[in-house]
Amino acid sequence: MKLDEVKAIVTGAGSGMGRAFALGLASAGAQVVVADVSMDGIRETLDEGAGLPGKLFPCEADVSSEESVRAMIERAAADMGGLNALVNNAGIFRDGLLVKVDKQTGKVSGAMSLENWNKVLAVDLTGPFLCTREFARQVIDSGTKSSVVINISSVSRAGNRGQSNYSAAKAGLVADTKLWAEELARYGIRVGAVAPGFIQTPILDGMRPDMLEAMVSQVPLRRTGTPHEIFQGVKFILECDYFTGRCLDIDGGLHV
Ligand SMILES: NC(=O)c1ccc[n+]([C@@H]2O[C@H](COP(=O)([O-])OP(=O)(O)OC[C@H]3O[C@@H](n4cnc5c(N)ncnc54)[C@H](O)[C@@H]3O)[C@@H](O)[C@H]2O)c1
């Protein structure tokens, strides 16, 4: 697919990597729907993208809500005169150990709450499920010949301590990437994933510097990645018509 022919929805495009994807695509002449729960974030992305060769459209949407996703897909197709790409990027995390044991008493003193489990699964796994299902419905029913879905997973999908909810969601997303690619190939829909390592976005800004340093010391390349470096993976998947069903690891060589 040529980038200047892309008509994409990028979820979570009001911040971090999603913003970089939306701006990168618009720089290449694509039309992009900037979808996010945060209207402030959407406005900032649109302001940054003013004057780029492509076109950016605002869309307030919650990927965990079926109603909101349906409305987003319908509006995106109307705004851009069609739809041929979806980047499932919106994501949250609520870290915590499965159970926390008090060193003094040896007894369980805390645990990951069901609420935090459900919240992360709702946005990071149910969200891409709803968006991909409704995207597929739209492109098939409208007779779109070729289209692409890109799921943003994570290096944590291998199972990262303190992230039962997030690791499960991001692993599930790569499993679904493979099976959606198989189910949807006959309709001209390719499905790929990108699994970033530690990337310099607002998520990392909130971390304690000593914790960040300890994390980065585990990365063979000894630095965090940039949103642009992840965009290079997104761009590759869009442009390479023989890529489907696989996950690109862009993580500086990190293993968790
Ligand atoms: N930053 C990293 O190091 C890193 C590493 C691996 C994977 N990831 C993944 O990359 C993606 C982007 O991460 P980021 O670091 O840019 O995060 P970020 O927090 O900067 O941006 C996430 C965006 O998603 C939006 N969002 C949250 N819930 C939403 C919902 N229900 N519906 C629509 N939008 C919603 C937020 O408002 C925000 O604008 C996420 O899926 C994240 O899990 C990030």
Residues above pLDDT 90, as percent of the chain: 95
More confident residue, 215 or 249: 249
Over residues 236-249, mean pLDDT = 98
CA of 101 to the centre of ligand 1 (A): 30
- Beta strands 247-250 and 7-11 are unpaired
**pLDDT per residue over 118-151, tens digit each?**
999 999 999 999 999 999 999 999 999 999 999 9
How far, in Å, CA of 126 to CA of 236, rounded?
Answer: 25
Instruction: Examine the pLDDT at 194 and tell me if it is beyond 80.
Output: yes
pTM (global) more than 0.95 = yes
Q: How many CA atoms lie within 13 A of 249 on its CB side?
A: 11
CA of 15 to the centre of ligand 1 (A): 7
Substitution site in 42, 151, 199 for ligand 1 pocket (most atoms within 8 Å of beta carbon) = 199
How far, in Å, CA of 128 to CA of 75, rounded?
Answer: 18
Q: Which domains does the chain have, with CATH numbers?
A: 3-249 (3.40.50.720)
**pLDDT per residue over 31-65, tens digit each?**
999 999 999 999 999 999 999 999 999 999 999 99
Residues above pLDDT 70, as percent of the chain: 100
More confident residue, 157 or 206: 157
Residue 206, pLDDT score: 75
**pLDDT per residue over 85-103, tens digit each?**
999 999 999 999 999 999 9
Please confirm, yes or no, whether 187 is among the known catalytic residues. Answer: no
Residue 217, pLDDT score: 96
Over residues 5-10, mean pLDDT = 98
Alpha-carbon dihedral 48, 52, 54, 60, rounded to 10 degrees: 10
- 10 by Cβ neighbours in 10 Å (0-12 / 13-18 / 19+) ranks as buried
Query: Which of the following is catalytic: 57, 93, 129, 166?
Result: 166
Picking from 38, 27, 101, the residue whose alpha carbon sits closest to that of residue 16 is 38
**Mean pLDDT across the chain:** 97
Residue 32, pLDDT score: 98
Ligand 1: residues whose CB is within 6 Å? 11-12, 14-18, 36-38, 41, 61-64, 89-92, 123, 127, 152, 154, 196, 198-199, 201-204
**Residue nearest to ligand 1 atom 2, measured at CA:** 199
Instruction: Examine the pLDDT at 245 and tell me if it is beyond 80.
Output: yes
Residue 68, pLDDT score: 98
CA of 245 to the centre of ligand 1 (A): 22
Residue 208, pLDDT score: 83
